[in-house]
């Protein structure tokens, strides 16, 4: 008897059916697999013509044939222009991480320097993320180290403050930075706000590439001070000039013909790729970083470069000039999209000669060497992960390992830390810290702390999976501790329905000796590994990294608590009144001992506020 049930269309047949209803208009298409996962996201000038190519069944590579074969549904979005389609495609690729797209995996934001303009005495500080602060931004810098080095130089050369506004308002005498000649101390009036603004202007000129003009001006001032026999002033200016000169000496490459540009060089080998990025701003090299995008052997350099540039600049400042080793597909379209975002013309070019070509060649050499190192490390890493799978009875080498540790002092400032490792080593962009929130938790109760951390982490994982959102599920969880910690972890995982994830407790040896660790699993008795086992060394590295991260998070939280002023917690005490109180009584402790009458005598403090301050220090 024939069945009336029709088999759902799939693969090329499904795509052919979809083509009939598509418009001849620009837009974005998505190929979706059996589990609802995004297989591929693409853009087209004409959706109908582009998708028709998939329906014809003639493919250049086996990878595209497999992608079409796995397709179970498609989604389409029409756009006004092809440029709009490109911008939407980039956004969706970063959001959905489709299996068959070239994917920029490491996408942390870059640190910058900002001169804050919200205060009469502008503050110089490091910044990362969206430009929400009013001020002038300079960057990007390739690393936090590059920013810190430049900030140190700027402090020596221009004496700008780096302290927070609350610290600034609370100062009654110059801080240590002034003593070591790194701040002009506008907080205590040692420099007028007008003269301080002049220092800020000089720093801004320097960061905008006018370093020679700034140094020439300083040299003239130094000579004038020397002629006037003001040798102390001349010596200070000499030290500032030396600080600025050190910037040029520290940079390996400072181009003369490139004021502002990003340089990209691609090297691909063995199905892997490296894109080396150099940043040049204000005629200076502000560092470089290597990226390893997910690619396929069949991907052409032009295709990889186009995908990489689009995703890279989705949330980063775009320079006027982008120098590349391979001309990207749709270069004109990328230039148009970047110009739309930047609000000015953007050029993408492959230089053929001169200094610009040398910069690209230098970046290409770095890309080739970085990929070689990564491939060598990856081979060793693969062996270690295979060893981990064998030791713990996993079905396959783990792709994602999460390691958990807690840190506190007698239960105070308790913090849980999670680090992540896998085939590519430590994935620091995915590290997480958990400030312990449970107010009823007994101080120092490590079991309760671990329970809270794991419950928060895996409840979120379950929620993401139920909502169909991209979720990062570990293959192995390592817990710092023995049988007790393992029991707590297993209880939480079972409660949340995550008991299919392998959990292992790592207990330190007697006297915390490395090499004598015992491993705890639910399925077997505790055991130890051979003292010289490479897998043991690897697991020790994971545990030590988790310990380092948790301690760092704890120290940061403890330092924040130590520097917090009790006056900040009192409603109605702003920076001005806080400063007046500190001037009157010398410190927060002095304020805490004052009577209501004495508090009310301070300028700007009413009787009601004096009573509130008095009560604050005596509540309980």
* Domain limits for position 460: 401-408+415-543
Domain final position from 250, 281, 305: 250
Q: Per-residue pLDDT for 51 more than 80?
A: yes
pLDDT band for position 107 (cuts 50, 70, 90): low
pLDDT of residue 226: 77
Q: Which of 309, 257, 253, 244 is nearest to 279 (CA)?
A: 253
Residue 337 lies in a domain: yes
Claim to verify: residue 225 and residue 141 sit in the same structural domain: yes
Place of tokens 């956004």: 91
What percent of the chain has a predicted confidence (pLDDT) above 70? 90
Domain final position from 528, 543, 558: 543
Claim to verify: residue 144 and residue 231 sit in the same structural domain: yes
Query: Tell me, what CATH number does 57's domain have?
Result: 3.40.1440.10
Q: Mean pLDDT check: name the lowest of 105-114, 284-293, 396-405.
A: 105-114
**Global confidence as pTM:** 0.65
Query: Tell me, what CATH number does 525's domain have?
Result: 3.30.420.340
Q: Which of 594, 603, 600, 530 is nearest to 566 (CA)?
A: 594
pLDDT band for position 262 (cuts 50, 70, 90): very high
Residue 3 lies in a domain: no
Claim to verify: residue 131 and residue 243 sit in the same structural domain: yes
Query: Tell me, what CATH number does 596's domain have?
Result: 1.10.150.20
Residue 141 lies in a domain: yes
Q: How many domains does the chain have?
A: 5
Cβ contacts of 519 within 8 Å, gap of 6 or more = 391, 392, 504, 505, 506, 507, 526, 527, 528, 529
pLDDT of residue 449: 87
Place of tokens 């000038």: 45
Are 538 and 514 in contact by the 8 Å Cβ rule? The answer is: no
Q: Per-residue pLDDT for 249 more than 70?
A: no
Are 417 and 553 in contact by the 8 Å Cβ rule? The answer is: yes
Claim to verify: residue 504 and residue 581 sit in the same structural domain: no
Give the span between the Cα atoms of 5 and 25, in whole angstroms: 35
Claim to verify: residue 16 and residue 85 sit in the same structural domain: yes
Claim to verify: residue 82 and residue 195 sit in the same structural domain: no
Claim to verify: residue 461 and residue 489 sit in the same structural domain: yes
pLDDT of residue 306: 94
Residue 5 lies in a domain: no
Claim to verify: residue 75 and residue 198 sit in the same structural domain: no
Give the span between the Cα atoms of 452 and 491, in whole angstroms: 12
Q: Per-residue pLDDT for 48 more than 70?
A: yes
pLDDT band for position 1 (cuts 50, 70, 90): very low
pLDDT of residue 404: 93
378-406 residue pLDDT tens: 778 888 999 999 999 999 999 999 999 98
Residue 437 lies in a domain: yes
Cβ contacts of 332 within 8 Å, gap of 6 or more = none
pLDDT band for position 159 (cuts 50, 70, 90): confident
Q: Which of 16, 44, 20 is nearest to 30 (CA)?
A: 44
Q: Per-residue pLDDT for 477 more than 90?
A: yes
Claim to verify: residue 578 and residue 529 sit in the same structural domain: no
Instruction: Tell me the average pLDDT across 518-527.
Output: 90
Q: Mean pLDDT check: name the lowest of 10-14, 331-335, 414-418, 465-469.
A: 465-469
546-586 residue pLDDT tens: 999 988 887 877 766 655 667 777 888 887 888 888 778 77
Q: Per-residue pLDDT for 439 more than 70?
A: no
Instruction: Tell me the average pLDDT across 189-194.
Output: 89
pLDDT band for position 587 (cuts 50, 70, 90): confident
Q: Per-residue pLDDT for 350 more than 90?
A: yes
Cβ contacts of 543 within 8 Å, gap of 6 or more = 403, 405, 478, 480, 506, 517
Domain final position from 250, 270, 305: 250
Classify residue 20 by burial, with Cβ atoms within 10 Å: 0-12, 13-18, 19+.
Answer: exposed
Q: Per-residue pLDDT for 188 more than 50?
A: yes
Q: What is the maximal distance between C-alpha atoms in the chain? A: 112
Residue 187 lies in a domain: yes
Claim to verify: residue 246 and residue 123 sit in the same structural domain: yes
pLDDT of residue 505: 93
């Amino acid at each position: 008897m024939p069945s009336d049930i029709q088999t759902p269309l799939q693969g090329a047949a499904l795509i052919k059916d979809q083509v009939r209803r598509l418009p001849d208009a620009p837009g974005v298409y998505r190929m979706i697999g059996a589990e609802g996962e995004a297989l591929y996201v693409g853009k087209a000038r004409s959706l109908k013509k582009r998708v028709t190519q998939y329906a014809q069944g003639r493919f250049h590579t086996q990878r595209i044939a497999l992608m079409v074969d796995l397709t179970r549904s498609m989604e389409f979005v029409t756009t006004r222009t092809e440029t709009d389609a490109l911008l939407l495609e980039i956004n969706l690729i970063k959001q959905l991480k489709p299996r068959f797209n070239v994917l920029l995996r490491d996408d942390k934001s870059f640190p910058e320097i900002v001169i804050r303009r919200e205060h009469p005495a502008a503050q110089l500080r490091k910044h990362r993320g969206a430009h929400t602060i009013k001020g002038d931004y300079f960057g990007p810098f390739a690393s936090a180290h590059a920013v810190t080095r430049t900030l140190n130089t700027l402090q020596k050369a221009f004496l700008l403050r780096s302290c927070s506004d609350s610290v600034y308002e609370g100062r009654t005498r110059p801080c240590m930075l002034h003593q070591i000649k790194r701040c002009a101390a506008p907080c205590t009036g040692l420099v007028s706000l007008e003269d301080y603004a002049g220092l800020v202007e000089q720093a801004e000129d320097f960061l905008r590439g006018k370093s020679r003009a700034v140094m020439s001006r300083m040299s003239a001032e130094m000579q004038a001070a020397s002629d006037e026999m003001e040798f102390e002033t001349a010596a200070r200016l000499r030290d500032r000039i030396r600080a600025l000169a050190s910037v040029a000496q520290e940079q390996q490459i400072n181009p003369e013909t490139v004021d502002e540009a990003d340089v990209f060089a691609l090297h691909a080998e063995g199905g892997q790729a490296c894109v080396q990025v150099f940043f040049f701003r204000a005629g200076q090299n502000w560092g470089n970083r290597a990226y390893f995008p997910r690619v396929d052997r069949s991907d052409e350099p032009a295709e990889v470069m186009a995908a990489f540039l689009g995703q890279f600049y989705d949330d980063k400042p775009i320079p006027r000039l982008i120098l590349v080793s391979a001309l990207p597909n749709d270069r004109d379209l990328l230039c148009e999209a970047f110009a739309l975002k930047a609000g000015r013309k953007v050029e993408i070019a492959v230089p053929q000669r001169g200094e610009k070509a040398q910069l690209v060649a230098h970046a290409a050499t770095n890309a080739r060497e970085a990929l070689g190192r990564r491939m060598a490390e990856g081979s060793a890493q693969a062996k270690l992960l295979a060893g981990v799978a064998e030791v713990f009875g996993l079905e396959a080498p783990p792709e994602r390992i999460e390691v958990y540790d807690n840190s506190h002092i007698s239960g105070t400032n308790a913090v849980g830390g999670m680090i992540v490792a896998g085939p590519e080593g430590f994935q620091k962009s995915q590290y997480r810290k958990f400030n312990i929130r449970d107010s009823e938790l007994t101080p120092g109760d490590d079991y309760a702390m671990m329970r809270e951390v794991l419950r928060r982490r895996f409840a979120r994982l379950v929620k993401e999976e139920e909502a169909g959102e991209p979720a990062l599920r570990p293959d192995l969880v390592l817990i710092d501790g023995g049988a007790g910690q393992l029991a707590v972890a297993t209880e939480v995982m079972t409660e949340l329905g995550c008991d299919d994830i392998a959990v292992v407790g790592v207990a330190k040896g007697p006297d915390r000796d490395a090499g004598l660790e015992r491993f705890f699993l639910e399925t077997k008795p505790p055991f130890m590994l051979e003292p010289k086992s490479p897998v043991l060394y690897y697991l020790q590295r994971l545990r030590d990294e988790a310990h380092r991260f948790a301690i760092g998070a704890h120290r940061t939280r403890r330092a924040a608590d130590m520097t917090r002023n009790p006056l900040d917690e009192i409603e109605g005490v702003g920076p001005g009144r806080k400063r007046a109180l500190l001037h009157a009584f010398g410190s927060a402790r002095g304020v805490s001992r004052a009577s209501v009458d004495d508090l009310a005598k301070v300028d700007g403090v009413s009787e009601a506020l004096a009573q509130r301050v008095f009560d604050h220090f005596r509540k309980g």
